[in-house]
Structure 1
Amino acid sequence: MQAFLQSRITHWVTVPLAVAALFGAGYWVKGDTLVNNAQATAPVSAKTMTAPSAYITLPNFASIANSQGAAVVNISVTGTVKTAGIPGVDPNDPMFELFRRFQPNLPQTETPMNGLGSGFIVKSDGVVLTNAHVVDKADVVTVKLSDKREFQAKVVGVDKLTDVAVLKIDAKDLPTVNIGSTKNSNVGDWVVAIGSPFGFENTVTAGIISAKSRALPDEGYVPFLQTDVAINPGNSGGPLFNLNGEVIGINSQIYSRSGGYQGLSFAIPIDVAMNIEQQLLETGKVSRGRLGIGVQAINQDLATSFGLKSPSGALVSNIEKNGPADKAGLEPGDVIVSFNGQSIDRSSDLPPMVASVKPGSTVNIEVWRNKQLKKLSVRVAEMQTAQAGPAALPDSQQPSLGVSVRPLTSQELAQTQLKQGLLVEEVAKGPAAAAGIQPGDVILAVNGDQVKSVAQLRDELSKNGKNVALLVMRGESKIYVPVKIG
């Protein structure tokens, strides 16, 4: 080991800057020996020491940890998940796989579920941001503050497409994080994460931004920040800070073959997350723009075929008939090179750009067609998706149904010939499940009062006591279902 250290030090003598960066001001090299302040007895002459021409200093993350750590929270969840099982047969038993193959419709059993995550306070009255996957399928969500106080949280809303969830706890005058912007961040910038990896609360790790606008499989609506910050299970939902102490992202995913950190972590840009938070708080759902096209990446061969100077842009492979793009005059084979004034370098750049546009807005696009640029205007429609802002309602502090609902889309309203209603997407263990409410039901009214928004449903539940009558549309029938909230 000593010989290894000696050889390393000898090499570092020839690179003074590396010595300063690695060991700091408390060490220097004397000949080929590492010396610290405590061992030094006499000044080192210029003949035996190569003086560095400059010093490299690392940033001090203590101020960020001290000023922002109080607004970072630990989140624990409990619930049940339904899994296929065979009574008396261990799922790890080889016989289980045999039964599963020949009996695909195995009975569903409920298995207890516990999870840990992180989050951060964005409003002093108790609004907390975290990942949607942290609170997914949770019956009870508990938020623990840095001062050890614990609160059962209400899930205001979740957006699975961006993996953002908004929680609310019953507290006031809480510390909050400083919100920044991803737009002001650059590749190579230092960043700091605070969270609860493996349950170790308020753990601080640091690294740099490795890349921006990363597209991940099945995550087409988020231009992720890639970092090399150490992120592990339990960090999910925690904040990513810049050196100004501003949150620029929500730590969400890692790339790993082992399940643990391997140098690649990804964060949701805070600009995306705050837009989701605002929509969920104001309307209970998330609206996204839609063009009605399918696109694919451009490689060098395609670029040559289309006469492009470089393999950039989004190649239109198919167009929805009578959709926004069709009405605007786009054609298969067009290459979209800019959208709303922003250039398209990769095809993965386009979906988040379109999704961020308010439905109904008209934007300008540039396409490459027949080796010429062509300008078009398109009126962006609203994305119709079952994941457009489902808002979960489990809440131990207020009356709760234990369901996940969302407003009907315009297409669903037309199909059902309704003017308003809330579609039940998921039913957790609770009052609604006990009363027979099912996924696919449409809640029309509470005790005779019509409901058309998630917020209105909460208000009606709060003011109507422990017993309510829900008017529900199931199939083509409308029925009243009595629910005892308790």
Structure 2
Amino acid sequence: MRALLAGFAAALLVTFSQPAAIAQPREGFGDLAERLSPAVVNISAAQRMRADASLPTFPPGSPLERFNDLLGDNPRVANSLGSGFIFDPSGLVVTNNHVIEEADEVEVVFTDGRTLPADIVGVDPATDLAVLRIRGDGEFPYVEFGDSDAARVGDWVIAIGNPFGLGGSLTAGVISARGREIGGRYDDYLQTDVAINRGNSGGPLFDMDGRVVGVNTAIFSPTGASVGISFSIPSTIAEPVVRQLARFGETRRGWLGVNVQAVTADTAEALGLSSPRGAIISRVDPDGPAYAAGIERGDLILAFNGEVVPDDRRLPRMVADTPVGSRVSVDVLRRGEPLTLEVEVARLDEPEAAPPRPVGAEAETPGVTPSSRTLFGLTLAPITDALRRTHRLHPDARGLVVTAVEPGSDAAGKARVGDVVEEIAWTPVTTVEEAREIARTAAGESGRPVLFSLNRQGQFILQSLRP
């Protein structure tokens, strides 16, 4: 393989007289590894699983007595391995929530071989982050958060972690892309080509100054091993969550009580904007602070608390990062007229939600049930417990699940399997029959487009579909 690659590279040199060279650090990453590795730890999480008390046990002295650990009162232990890093000298550790989820015991293992127990301080399933506190005296080596907003595509980054239980492993690469979404409510992942494998979850992604710019969380892989596409939670999202977990043991996010959608190029032109920006309000919760402040469906939010809203994905983060109880200004465009409203940010009531589906692990689409029907290219079915688990539906989702999208239909590319149709033509739907009737009436004899309100993993999207 190495010879084949060398031959391919030689062929490229013949074809291109001046090949582009990738600038690499002259001194390698040795100095960074020595300085940073002591603050990176391996995470061992154990879940004690009690066996069924109704199962028989073998008598003392029996050759099969050793199997009582599996069948009797003694628990069987399920272990999971991951990575983490100390961000405070008192022994506070960051890792992924999915690494320690449902764990009864957690231990951290240092590069020098020391193993110390740790307590779970707080978790946040929405961002898949968790904070632990090491049980031990004295100060611990630690690393600091950096500014992921300053990280550019092409910048060098390194990861240190525990892939496949091989602690202290360092891999390097570059940032491949920014702003990736993989199915979470606050997604804005950094994509890298750094080799990340099972066991790297929760570990740090460092810039060349040795600051944490990301928390390694997921990979895209059809095989389960690294193929050069990995995702890290940027530090600008992770650090505020981590600080709240460390201080309160929970997150305290701001809440407006609105659903938003993107401003397309066509919409921007129709609104008289020079380019797409801001977020369109697609729904206002009548019990939320936005409703009390006079924000209406169809309003275009251009600025929040004096800060420009670049797009619909940024607004939820801006609101979530606002201290609860703050009174802030909201600049909106309503039917072409600019308005400034004042709203008091409330606290988001967050349900116990499952973390985002692992990348590369596509859920199986269940068979179409007898109550499923095709509508505007969408195969719809009422929500059941099985469908909720299969598609990891948002806990608040209410309506009809999209179980298939007809290729070549107008819905192809606009809706996805796992979306929940909550409203059609601004009318809530709960059965396929009423959805069909509402859509038929809204489309009329001319077959005009009909607005579908979709819940996609907690993100609400307004799409116009043609019959």
**Shorter-chain TM-score: what band?**
0.5 to 0.7
Aligned partners of 1:69, 1:111: CA distance in 2, in Å? Answer: 33
Return closer, same or farther for 1:8/1:318 CA change in 2, 3 Å cut-off.
closer
Q: Deviations over 1:230-264 (max 9, x none)?
A: 21110111001001111111111222333332332
Cα distance in 2 for partners of 1:362, 1:289 equals 11
- How far 1:373 sits from its partner (Å)? 3.0
1:12 aligns with 2:44: no
- Determine the structure 2 residue equivalent to 1:320: 285
Task: Indicate if the aligned counterparts of 1:215 and 1:348 stay in contact, CA closer than 8 A.
Answer: no
What is the alpha-carbon distance in structure 2 between the residues aligned to residue 82 and residue 257 of structure 1? 34
The amino acid of 2:102's aligned partner reads: K
Residue aligned with 2:98, SS: helix
Contact 1:308 1:371 in 2 (8 A): no
Give the alignment's Cα RMSD to 1 decimal: 3.0
- Aligned with 2:225 (options 253, 260, 267): 260
Whole-angstrom distance in 1 between the partners of 2:205 and 2:163: 14
The answer to whether 1:204 aligns with 2:170 is yes
Partner of residue 293, structure 1: 258
| Paired residue type of 1:12 | L
Q: Distance in 2 between matches of 1:138 and 1:364?
A: 43
Q: Which runs of 5+ in 2 are unaligned?
A: 56-74, 354-467
In the TM superposition, what whole-angstrom CA distance separates every residue of 1:64-115 from its partner, at most 9, and x where no partner exists?
111101111011111156999xx9xxxxxxxxxxxxxxxxxxxxxx985321
Partner in structure 2 of residue 71 of structure 1 = 39
After superposition, what is the alpha-carbon deviation per residue over 1:272-312, rounded to whole angstroms, capped at 9, x for unaligned? 33322322232222211000111122333443444443333
Taking the TM superposition and a 5 Å limit, the aligned residue runs for 1:66-465 are 66-80=34-48, 112-171=77-136, 172-217=138-183, 219-387=184-352
C-alpha displacement at 1:205, in angstroms?
Answer: 1.2
Deviation at 1:332, TM superposition (A): 0.5
Q: What does residue range 466-477 of structure 1 map to in structure 2 within 5 Å?
A: none
Secondary structure (helix, strand or coil) at the match of 1:138 reads coil
1:237 match: secondary structure? coil
Give ranges in structure 1 of 5+ residues lacking alignment.
23-55, 88-109, 389-486
Deviates more, 1:297-306 or 1:363-372: 297-306
CA distance in 1, matches of 2:46, 2:331: 49
Larger Rg: 1
Tell me the CA shift for residue 10 of structure 1: 5.7
TM-score by length of 1: 0.62
TM-superposed deviation, 1:167: 0.9
Distance 1:235 1:7 in 2: 32
Secondary structure at the counterpart of residue 368 of structure 1: strand
- Separation in structure 1 between the aligned mates of residue 198 and residue 252 of structure 2, nearest angstrom: 30
Q: 1:188 to 1:288 in 2, by over 3 A?
A: same
Identical aligned residues as a percent = 42
CA distance in 2, matches of 1:3, 1:74: 37
Q: Which amino acid aligns with 2:262?
A: A
Q: Secondary structure at the match of 1:351?
A: helix
The whole-number CA distance in structure 1 between the counterparts of 2:282 and 2:142 is 46
Q: What displacement does 1:16 show?
A: 6.5
Length, aligned pairs only: 331
Q: 1:57 to 1:191 in 2, by over 3 A?
A: closer
Write the distance in 2 (CA, Å) between the matches of 1:144 and 1:7. 43
Is 1:213–1:349's contact at 8 Å kept on the other side of the alignment?
A: no
